[in-house]
Structure 1
Amino acid sequence: MKNFAFYFMKNQIPNRNLSVWIFFILILFLIQNLYADSIQERFPPPKEFKRVNYPNHSFASFLQNYPLKPKGSPVHLFDGRTKTNEVHVAVLDFPLLNADLIQCADAVMKLRAEYFYSLKQYEEIHFKISNGMEVGFPRFVKGERVQVNGNKTHWKTGKFKKGVGRDVFEEYLRFIYSYAGTISLKSELKKKQIPDLKPGDVWIEAGSPGHVVMVVDQTIGKDGQTLFLLAQSYMPSQEMHILKSESKYSPWFEIPKNQTFSTPEWEFPTKEIYEFTN
């Protein structure tokens, strides 16, 4: 397509107009990128606060720089409908499947897996499923798959696709979405203290249903006060989105001071904050 466009410009457009077309194309490029901002670009720290920066290849930095859809975008459900409860201020550029699979815990696991996949650290991509079995992406890479019979599972070999290509990775993720959830996710997380909060941490309540929200950005005030942004998917499967808060710093949340922590669609026990161990 690019070669065709160049040929057309070179052979069909008079030379005197070529510069005009080039200028027009550059303007379109700039406009397109104007709306392709990230979490940290869209949400500067409130006055008197400063963003907490993390190493470039850390999970925290990956989240802070995650791309967003254009301003004003609605949250779409997996079937194309629009989420009616408008609890968001931004929508992550977070492709869904055309099935009700990527809900709250699935979205968190997808972000974690996408982070390691972007670094080609495939051995770090592994999650537990509901019966406690740990399922690692490297075994999918080798051509193995999991056989499910009720609550029993085992690895099997066959004529399955091998490699680290996107198609194998998506097949792996779809399996995880189908057989993991808040209960299995919580079982592999580590409890932590709120003062140590950072992007990548989650508030999680395991159950059927349960819910999980993820910290995706963080700022610190001169007096040491911490603010943070939260993202979630929900039920049914929907695009991950940045939540509004009831704080005067909204959409930034303040560290909860009570025993419960309210988010727009779920109330968590404040102490139920966890982090990934790998």
Structure 2
Amino acid sequence: MKNSLRIVLLLVLLLVLFIQFKPAKNTIKTIAATIEAPSLINKDSLTIKSRVKTPKGYKRVKYPLGSFQNYLRNYKLKPFGTKIINYDDTEYFWQGGHIGILEIPVPKNGLQQCADALIRIRSEYLWDNDRKDEIGFNFTIGHYCSWKQYAEGYRPKINGNKVSFHKTATKNFSKENFYKYLNLIYMYSGTLSLYNELPKIEDAKNLKIGDMLIKGGSPGHIVMICDEVINNKGEKLFLLFQGNTPAQSVHLVKNLENSKISPWYHLENNIEIPVSNYTFNSSKFVKFK
């Protein structure tokens, strides 16, 4: 009888210990799951390159001074924690997807949306590097409009899908007129025109800074690669920034799918790539000429 009682008491004790141990074990798992990888963010830094550290085992791919790649990598950022602001000075409804705001004004006219922001960045680089004659973009309906043509006084007359250019203004090569030209491009160009106009990148292994992940359409979306690292196996990771609709602050995005390498991204052709508040269902890449 005593032996039976002892066995029963022992079983009860084991059951109590099991009940106590199981939630403790689950708690340990929960705590472990919430521990983030070491931060790759330098919160006190004010450029893309200095804001984000390289992941362990990777090093930055080198580009020459004066190149578009070097220009993007060293783009200036606002202080860490700056919020995304819409063109009408309201705060964007979601502030959880970025780790930096680029030093690019947001025009109050609401025109500088996702593709437009990247058009502006490319155009300002060409302007600042005395390559103004290379500034030009296709309208969505296919007609090419250059800064040089606009500065000479030619303006488009659009009738349905037909465009003709007429000299209706005086010559003006000023920076102020340059931004008026960009507003015209913002109105008649977008992700669809860029997708149709720009060279395609068939193999993601050839991606570099300045190339773009794009979904051409209405609506479509586009983001730009702004930094690049590589390991000794030849594997690459990339940083991305984007404008958005409505027109808002251009921002450096987090990788919300992989906290271990965030904000870096692994990019491949024809795969689903979630970027901040947008998912590219079948990734395609283009580059400026």
TM-score by length of 1: 0.83
- Matches for 1:26-175 after TM superposition, within 5 Å: 37-86=46-95, 87-163=97-173, 165-175=174-184
Q: Deviations over 1:36-94 (max 9, x none)?
A: 72111111212221111211121111110111111110011000011121211100001
1:191 offset after TM fit, Å? 1.5
8 Å contact from structure 2 (residues 239, 263) kept in 1: yes
Are residues 42 and 266 of structure 1, via their aligned partners in 2, closer, same or farther at CA, if it must alter by over 3 Å?
same
Kept in 2, the 8 Å contact 1:128–1:184? The answer is yes
Q: How does 1:250-265 map to 2 (within 5 A)?
A: 250-256=262-268, 259-265=271-277
**3-state DSSP class of the match of 2:183?**
helix
What stretches of structure 1 of length at least 5 have no aligned partner?
1-33
For residue 220 of structure 2, what is the aligned residue in structure 1?
Answer: 210
Which has the higher mean CA deviation after the structures are superposed, 176-185 or 153-162?
153-162
Residue pairs, 1:164-243, within 5 angstroms: 165-192=174-201, 193-243=203-253
The answer to whether the 8 A contact 2:71-2:125 is kept is yes
Check whether the contact 2:226–2:241 (CA below 8 A) recurs between aligned residues: yes
Worse-matched range after superposition: 259-268 or 63-72: 259-268
Give me the whole-angstrom Cα distance separating, in 1, the residues matched to 2:124 and 2:147: 12
> 2:238–2:266: 8 Å Cα contact kept in structure 1?
yes
- 3-state SS of the aligned residue for 1:111? helix
Contact 1:256–1:270, Cα closer than 8 Å, also in 2: no
**Which of 108-117 and 265-274 deviates more?**
265-274
Using the TM superposition, name which of 251-260 and 81-90 deviates more. Answer: 251-260
**Percentage of matched positions with identical amino acids:** 36
Three-state SS of the structure 1 residue aligned to 2:90 is: coil
Which is greater in Rg? Answer: 2
Shift of 1:157: 1.1
Spell out structure 1 runs of 4+ moving beyond 6 A: none
Q: 1:257 to 1:116 in 2, by over 3 A?
A: closer
Residue 278 of structure 2 corresponds to: 266
- Match of 1:16? none
Number of equivalent positions: 243
Paired with 1:58 and 1:235, the residues of 2 have a C-alpha distance of: 29
Q: CA RMSD in A?
A: 1.8
Residue 227 of structure 1: CA displacement?
0.9
Letter in 1 for 2:266: E
Q: 1:172 to 1:42 in 2, by over 3 A?
A: same
Give, as a single letter, the amino acid of the residue that structure 1 aligns with 2:280: F
Distance between the aligned counterparts of 1:159 and 1:129, measured in 2? Answer: 20
CA contact (8 A) 2:269 2:283 kept: no
**SS at 1:80 equivalent:** coil
Separation in structure 1 between the aligned mates of residue 82 and residue 76 of structure 2, nearest angstrom = 13
Distance in 1, matches of 2:104 and 2:234, equals 33
Measure the CA separation in 2 of the matches of 1:215 and 1:71: 20
Contact 1:127–1:134 (CA under 8 A) maintained in structure 2 = yes
Contact 1:244 1:264 in 2 (8 A): yes
SS of corresponding position for 1:191? coil
Given the two structures, how large is their TM-score scaled by the length of structure 2?
A: 0.80
Structure 1 residues 258 and 202, CA, compared in 2 at 3 Å: closer, same or farther?
closer
2: CA distance, partners of 1:114 / 1:257: 29
Call closer, same or farther: CA 1:102–1:152 in 2, change over 3 Å. same
For the 8 Å contact 1:145–1:156, the answer to whether it is kept is: yes
